[in-house]
Structure 1
Amino acid sequence: MASWAALSQALVDPTLTDEVDRAGSSLVQALVAGGTLLVAGNGGSAAIASHVAAEFIGKCIHDRDPLPAVSLAESLSSITAVGNDYGYEHVFTRGLAALGRPGDVLLAMSTSGTSPNVVAALQQARRRDILTIAMTGAKGEGLRGAADHVLVVPSDETPRIQEVHMLWAHTWCEAVDVLCQ
C-alpha cells in the first residue's frame, strides 16, 4: 500500500499529467479523423491491449458509434506463426505492416521499455507515419525519442506500472465516449 501511496503522489506531477493529456488528445484527434488504434504489449500488457481495443470498439461509459481498434497481441495463431517464421521480435511489426496506415495510432506498452518486439513496432510505426504513444515504467526512460509521446510511470513495480497504464487508457476511452456521444 505504501508504494501506491507514493506513486499516487507522483502521478499528479503537472509535467506528467500534461504529457498524458497531450498523448490522449493526439489519440482522440486521430480516431475522430478516421484513424485506427493499434495496441501492442506482451504478457499483462497484452491483456491491457485487448481491453483497450475493446473499450474503443464498444464503449467505456457512454454509448457511441464504435471506433476502429485492434490489439496486435490478440491472435494466438498470428503471433505463433510470425514468431516461428520470422522471430518473436517481428510479431507486432508484421501486424503493423498488414493493418497500419498513415493517420493511425500505435499505443505500445512495455513495463521495461526494452521489449524488442515493442521497440521494433515503434520504429516501424514511425517509418509508416503512424502516431506513436509508448507507455512504460521508470526503467523505460530510454524510450524517450523513440515515440511521439512517451509516458513513464514513475515506478519499477510491474503491477503498479500496468495499473497506471490501464488508468491512463481508461481516461482516454472516457474522453472519446464524451466527445463522440
Structure 2
Amino acid sequence: MSELMETFHAQARAEWARLAVALVEPDLVAAVDAAGLALLAALRGGAKVLVAGNGGSAAMSSHVAAEFAGKCVRDRDPLPALSLAESPTAITAIGNDYAFEQIFARQVRAHGRPGDVLIVMTTSGTSGNITLALDAARAAGLATIALTGSRGEHLRERADHVLVVPSDYTPRIQEVHLMWTHAWCEAVDHAWP
C-alpha cells in the first residue's frame, strides 16, 4: 500500500512541477489578472458574484462565494456572492420541472442583473448546465469568467474570460481553480476600503 501511495504522490509532485512552469506563461498570467480585475471592478460598482460548478467544483463554488460574503485573509465589508450549487431545493425543483441542464441557467436568470459576474468552474468544459448558464448570463448582461481544463478551450466563444488550466487531470485542474480564485479573493480583501 505504501508503494501505491508513493507512486501517486510522486505523480502529483511531477505534475505540479510541470504546472508550476506552465502557470507563469505570460499570456495565461495576463488572462488570470484581467479576469480578477474585471471581478474587482464589478464588485466596486456594486455588482454581485454568482458562482457555479458540479461535483467538486460545486463545493469550490460554495467556498468562493463564502470568501466574498465573509473574508479570505483580511477583514472588510461583506460582498454579495452566491453559489448556485447551494440549494438542493432549487436544484431538484428546477431539475425535475425543467431539466438538469437548466439548474444554473434559471438561477442566473433569477438572481443575475446586468453588471453582475458569473464565475463557472468546469474541468471538462462540456457540462450542459454550465454552458447554458454562460449563455443565460451573456443574455442577461452579466460578465462571465469560465475556469476549465485543457478540454474546455471551446468555452472561449461563450465567456468573456476563459482561463484554461493546461491539464486534463481533474484533481490538478480543480487545485489550480482554487489557487486562482483564492488569489482574486486575497486581492479583493486588500483592495477593499
The answer to whether TM tops 0.5 is yes
> 2:176 — aligned with what?
164
- After the TM superposition, which parts of structure 1 deviate over 6 Å for at least 4 consecutive aligned residues? none
The C-alpha deviation readout for 1:31-81, integer Å capped at 9, x for no partner, is 111000000000000000000000000001110000000000000111011
Q: How is 1:1-181 mapped onto 2 (pairs within 5 angstroms)?
A: 1-181=13-193
Q: How many residues align?
A: 181
Query: In structure 2, how many angstroms separate the alpha carbons of the residues matched to 1:26 and 1:33?
Result: 11
Which letter maps to 2:125? G
Query: In structure 1, how many angstroms separate the alpha carbons of the residues matched to 2:91 and 2:146?
Result: 21
Over the residues paired in the alignment, what is the CA RMSD in angstroms? 0.6
SS of the aligned residue for 2:104 comes to helix
* Structure 1 position 144, deviation (Å): 1.1
Query: In structure 1, how many angstroms separate the alpha carbons of the residues matched to 2:54 and 2:179?
Result: 18
The C-alpha deviation readout for 1:76-99, integer Å capped at 9, x for no partner, is 111011101100000001111110
Runs of at least 5 residues in structure 2 that lack an aligned partner in the other structure: 1-12
Which letter maps to 1:28? L
Query: In structure 1, how many angstroms separate the alpha carbons of the residues matched to 2:141 and 2:24?
Result: 31
Runs of at least 5 residues in structure 1 that lack an aligned partner in the other structure: none
Query: In structure 2, how many angstroms separate the alpha carbons of the residues matched to 1:145 and 1:79?
Result: 26
Which letter maps to 1:176? V
Query: In structure 2, how many angstroms separate the alpha carbons of the residues matched to 1:104 and 1:28?
Result: 11
Which letter maps to 2:131? V
SS of the aligned residue for 2:157 comes to coil
Which letter maps to 1:179? A
Larger-gyration structure (1/2): 2
